[in-house]
Amino acid sequence: MQTHERLQSGTSEIDLHIVRPENRNPVPRTLLLVHGLPMILGMGRTAAGMLPELAEQISHESGWTVASGTMSGVGDATGTFSGPQWRSDLAVMVERLYDHDRPLSLAGFGLGGCLALRVAADDERVRGVATFATSADLASWCGSADSFHARVSRAGVVEKSQPLPSPSQLRDGVMALNPCEAIAKVPPRRLLIGHGADDREVPVENARALFAAAGEHAELRIIQGAGHWLRADPRMVATLVGWMDRH
């Protein structure tokens, strides 16, 4: 069973889809899927498009309640992307989903993995984090402030009434997520780092850097032959569900 909720995050209205298992004995745990930020022309608005379907599949296979969010500037959510805004959006979703009797974990893709690590580092209520195709080096991922600003504009995660921050502010807001610093604060809570061996957008060395920053207190899974878009890779789903089953 899937339900949809509209949440307020500052001046933004964001979406949360929640799937509760129906076909097996439910497991009293919750997973929140966190989308990333594609840099392809116009694709920002569809960044979370596959996640409700993926949430249904994972919920069916694991027995967990699985949610997926749509953050500012993406899909039907209002507002404009920035690192601080998306960080606030994710914190709002965690607040809504948290239940003392149902431990909550996060699974983030791309920049969503950096967000998940940052929020978990600051919030002990998050009991585990899985990242996929996530950068450990946001300086390289962003590039120059001007080029990053231009790529975000092209991606289409901007509401006309809320323009993007200046190039330097936009880049600095993303850099502040600091995934290597954040991941070091998550253990002894559970960590999974998944990455495609043939990822050309975020090279696999980033996964190894995150693993090292975690003090090797993580499960590292390199998926051979896989590229950057892991959400559609059945091996990613199997890796994530296996990690959930071991909780």
Which region among 31-40, 96-105, 143-152 has the lowest average model confidence (pLDDT)?
Answer: 31-40
Q: In this predicted structure, what is the pLDDT of residue 218?
A: 95
* Per-residue pLDDT at 183: 98
Return d(Cα 174, Cα 147) in angstroms, integer. Answer: 14
Within 10 A of 101 (CB to CB), how many other CB atoms are there?
6
Banded model confidence at residue 40, pLDDT cuts 50, 70, 90: confident
Between 48 and 16, residue with greater pLDDT: 16
Q: pLDDT value at position 42?
A: 63
> Would the pLDDT of 39 be above 80?
no
Predicted local distance difference test score (pLDDT) of residue 219: 96
Provide the token pair at 227. Answer: 């590229």
Range of the domain at 195: 2-245
Closest by CA to 184, choosing from 215, 207, 218, is: 215
Q: Is the pLDDT of residue 176 over 80?
A: yes
Is residue 156 pLDDT above 90, yes or no? no
State the Cα–Cα distance between residues 47 and 155, nearest whole angstrom.
10
pLDDT of 23 reads: 67
* 165 vs 204: CA distance, rounded Å: 30
**CATH code for position 38:** 3.40.50.1820
Mean pLDDT over each residue of the chain, to the nearest integer: 92
190-196 vs 219-223, strand pairing mode: parallel
How far apart CA 92 and CA 89 sit, in angstroms, is: 5
Q: What is the pLDDT of residue 48?
A: 74
Beta partners for residue 219, in sequence order: 192
Q: Name every residue whose Cβ is closer than 8 Å to that of residue 126 and which is 6 or more positions away in sequence.
A: 94, 104, 105, 106, 116, 119, 120, 189
Q: What is the mean pLDDT of residues 132-161?
A: 93
Domain count, the chain: 1
pTM for the complete prediction?
0.95
Q: How many CB atoms lie within 10 A of CB 81?
A: 30
pLDDT at residue 51 tops 80: yes
Q: Mean pLDDT highest for which of 55-64, 182-191, 237-246?
A: 182-191
CA distances from 234 to 14, 57, 157, 220, 231 (A): 28, 10, 28, 17, 8
